[in-house]
Amino acid sequence: MLSLEQALTDLISPLVDDKNSLSVKQMDSLDDGEILLHVYAKSEDVARLIGKQGSMATAVRNMMSVASRLENKRISIKFESY
């Protein structure tokens, strides 16, 4: 079965210019019912992933929330640039 990290990477990699700088990491959460994913990319790619008024980020989070229901957990995705 595909991991959530890989699923998110496959979902957003066509949206970024520099695919080599894209990184998705799953972090530990204090809440056992939550999956925390961090997306790291260049600042212009992060701006594209977030979109106008967060519309793209909301769409990505909604898509990934469907995948996280298999584990009966909610998902949090944070976008960070470097």
DSSP state at residue 14: G
Distance of CA 75 to the CA centre of its chain: 9
Amino acid letter, residue 55: S
DSSP state at residue 72: T
pLDDT tens across the length of the chain (82 residues): 478 999 999 999 999 999 999 999 999 889 899 999 999 999 999 999 999 999 999 999 999 999 888 889 999 999 999 8
Each domain of the chain, given as residue ranges in start order, spans 4-81
Which class is 4-81 in CATH? alpha beta
pTM score, two decimals? 0.90
Amino acid letter, residue 34: E
